[in-house]
A and B are shown apart, each in its own frame.
Chain A
């Protein structure tokens, strides 16, 4: 009888200790989450409806930020062109994703030099964007035009790719695709690594060609990863800066701005908290636009997932 009581009480002590340990361990993470996620997002909504006063205070209950924002959308070139540029960057990143998938397939099949490609293509992902942009800028503005001028003698002489009006935007987009492939290759490679070998072997016994194997066996298996990439790019559709800040600081030409870049520059240039309500209003507008689009896209991708359909 005594033994049973002792067992029960020691279990109770252990459960109490477990609960104390659990609460202590979770106290900080939950407090951090409450302040820097829940409160920050709630404050973002409040801030969007607040007005900055000359004495440094904020007053609640105004639509001034949205009025200013919609007026700027008509008048400011940064915002007028920003929506189109952001969308264009997204479309191009989706259109270029087959490159990453095909390259991943080559590496996955352990063809010649695949390990070398894996390391080289991943390297830009571990190097700071400032470093690569500095190198790329020198190459695009000095090496390439000088090489073309020396070889082809064009008249008038070619200037830097990041200096000439007509080549700035394509060059920046090219840079994004070129440098961004490493991460996507690694992502798809991880997904391909999870494909069951027996599926591939069965297809090979049936005499499938590499192209058919890629299209009808491998791609459907990695579709969930493609879907994640598609949806997550959509999430950052309007916050993508397209590396503009790294290239030009706060001085990129208005016609090349994206919404994400415009927002970041506003925040950096804000004197004190003066522009925060305006930026918060823009952030809220972005969330309102992005949220349904992302949810619909996720639903659609789940619907067309070939693995689910089977």
Chain B
């Protein structure tokens, strides 16, 4: 009697598992998909583990980290966060002023918003006028973008730095914005194709109503491509937030938060040299952009492909 009950119970559990399996694995698993899934799990979990490891260890005291580098913290130290906030600073060179986290956040926001705006504006404007007006020069601009994208002219950084210094743009925010305000990118192609696809009927109707070219561009065309604009803007913003090598080379006196972390990471000053504090600082830089990514992940991941941005 008991055996019968047990076997009935097992059969029920098996049915539930089968139903769950059918729900989870909508398609029948094959050897190929199982092997792929195994590797993907290892790959993804290793990445997640890295972030979890950094997060957990940023709450350890130095002695806890030294004696217990593998396990969980004996005591969750929130003091590390305070230490990071106090010591997260940047100095361009000896005797130069120190910049603290609030300064770096300010510089980062100015740098990221400024560069994103400069880059996005120039790409959009250039793509719009060359797509809308059929002058011969529009074709020339399109060809320039194609050619520069396929010509591997590399190693001109020394010359670029030389020109930037000669034009007194070195170590200025305006200089960085001007440097980024170019249209030579894949996104020019994306906007060009988008504006071509919009058609002239909208602008012609507006023209009949007496709207000028600038009005048509700002009030009619930009709202029509706002999805593409938003996606590419986000991609640019994230890219500028994370980049530390360009500010290090062109804007060392106004450190962004990524540049600050770079110097902090290499610091040997006793108060800062602790790995736990460095991990805490990494988490501090990592969190804001990761939250932005999580909020907009569908927009960013769903829309980007090698061919451009899907509407």
Contacts and interface: CB of A to CB of B under 8 A. Distances in A.
A138 interface: yes
Interface stretch (A1-9, A34-42, A70-78, A161-169): A34-42
A107 B234 CA distance: 24
Given A26-B129, A267-B249, A143 B69 contact: yes
B183 interface: yes
B154 A235 contact: yes
Interface stretch (B9-17, B96-104, B237-245): B237-245
B154 A210 contact: no
Nearest to B183: A29
Given A118-B301, A143-B53, A127 B158 contact: no
A205 interface: no
A268 B99 CA distance: 21
Q: Dominant SS at the A interface?
A: helix
A187 B305 contact: yes
A128 B286 contact: yes
A124 to B, nearest CB: 7
A109 interface: yes
A120 B290 CA distance: 11
A28 B122 contact: yes
Given A128-B242, A291-B151, A134 B261 contact: yes
Contacts of A282: 155
Interface residues of B, number: 95
A273 B165 contact: yes
A279 B238 CA distance: 30
Interface string B39-58: 11101101110110110010
Contacts of A214: 32
B221 to A, nearest CB: 12
A123 B44 CA distance: 10
B300 interface: yes
Contacts of A129: 242, 244
Interface in A272-310: 273, 275-277, 279-280, 282-287, 290-291, 294, 298
A235 B155 contact: no
A170 interface: no
Interface string A121-138: 111101111111111101
A91 interface: no
A161 B30 CA distance: 37
Given A44-B158, A121-B43, A127 B289 contact: yes
A298 B36 contact: no
A22 interface: yes
A253 B304 CA distance: 38
B160 A40 contact: yes
B37 A132 contact: no
B266 interface: yes
Contact of A22 (B135, B162, B243, B275): B135
B30 A210 contact: yes
B46 A186 contact: no
A106 B33 contact: yes
B179 interface: yes
A291 B155 CA distance: 12
B94 interface: no
Given A102-B36, A103-B40, A284-B155, A29 B242 contact: no
Interface stretch (B76-84, B190-198, B225-233, B277-285): B277-285
A133 B245 CA distance: 14
B267 to A, nearest CB: 11
Contacts of A246: 244, 262
Interface residues of A, number: 102
A139 B159 contact: no
A189 interface: yes
Interface in B141-194: 141, 144, 148, 150-163, 165, 167, 178-179, 181-184
Contact of A40 (B57, B135, B156, B213): B156
A238 interface: yes
B70 interface: yes
B306 A191 contact: yes
A132 B154 CA distance: 27
Nearest to B46: A178
Contacts of A142: 65, 69, 275
A276 B245 contact: no
A9 to B, nearest CB: 16
B148 A37 contact: yes
Nearest to A181: B43
Contacts of B139: none
Nearest to B290: A127
Contact of B153 (A117, A178, A287): A287
Contacts of B266: 249
Contacts of B157: 263-264, 267, 279, 283
B36 A130 contact: no
Given A120-B47, A123-B290, A235-B152, A103 B39 contact: yes
B286 A138 contact: no
Q: Which 6 A-B pairs have the closest CB atoms?
A: A190-B305, A283-B155, A44-B159, A128-B242, A279-B158, A21-B213
19 contacts: A26-B130, A99-B39, A103-B43, A110-B27, A126-B238, A126-B290, A126-B292, A128-B258, A130-B244, A130-B258, A135-B282, A138-B53, A178-B46, A228-B306, A238-B154, A267-B161, A279-B155, A280-B155, A287-B153
